[in-house]
Amino acid sequence: MSRLTGRTAVITGAGRGIGKAIAERFAAEGAKVAIISRTEANSNATAEAINTAHPGAAKGYAVDVSDSAATAALGKQVLADFGSVDILVNNAGVTRDGLALRMSDEDWDVVLDTNLKGAFNLVKAFQRSILKSKTGRILNVASVIGLIGNAGQCNYAASKAGLIGFSKSLAREFAGRAVTVNAIAPGFIVTDMTNELNDQQKEGVLKQIPLGTFGDAVDIANTAAFLASDEARYITGQVIAVDGGMVM
């Protein structure tokens, strides 16, 4: 696998779960990867694991993506370390679930600031380098919840629906420089969140999935690797649902 050889990718929320799986796959495809997480412990752990298999491929960084100034400073550091960035994967995300009638301003703001504003901050930090790249790619990890909504997640659904609109608008703006921008909408993927569901809850979710099983982070990583490669050069402004048929 060498579809991304010679390219540098920045991946947020890469300390664990889907982001980590994407980073590992990109490194296996030959890319250099900047691992972004809220904590140094998580980002460095992912970078070390990748470097064990692919020496010198990864470096870890810690930042709160909702912080515009901190993200801008991070961008300068990553560019100083790697020289350029070709691929950006906005994967960082949080949840603060609750019914709209009881949702606090803080719970709304934290989710929108991280999931949506965070993606905007990262694009601002790296857009010049990506626009100069002959293989520029931006991938935004949304969610099927952004397509269909979900009771108790109006903040999360709004952030992911916003991320889809953001992706489509950027795709139009950046197309003139041959930069593609797409969104991936995962369904129920085996993560820390799904592990917290009890058997009855899992059974209820599985009834909504035609393929009858949860997805794996590798399923998202496979899709991301394809969209970041030359094979997907003519795909932009799209939302790719990776959900076992949950949303059709």
Active site residues: 156
Tokens of 129: 């380098």
> Would you say 37 is a known binding-site residue?
no
Tokens of 108: 């709304």
The count of C-alpha atoms lying within 13 angstroms of the C-alpha of 93, restricted to the half-sphere facing its C-beta, is 26
> Would you say 165 is a known binding-site residue?
no
Q: What is the distance between the alpha carbons of residues 114 and 212, in angstroms, rounded to a whole number? A: 31
- Asked whether the beta carbons of 35 and 51 are under 8 A apart, the reply is no
> Would you say 156 is a known binding-site residue?
yes
- Asked whether the beta carbons of 12 and 62 are under 8 A apart, the reply is no
> Would you say 13 is a known binding-site residue?
yes
> Would you say 16 is a known binding-site residue?
yes
Match 């990776």 to its residue by tokens: 242
> Would you say 168 is a known binding-site residue?
no
Nearest to 86 by CA among 171, 168, 5: 5
> Would you say 215 is a known binding-site residue?
no
Query: Residue ranges for the binding site for NADP(+)?
Result: 13-16, 91, 156-160, 189
Q: Which residues carry a binding-site annotation? A: 13-16, 91, 156-160, 189
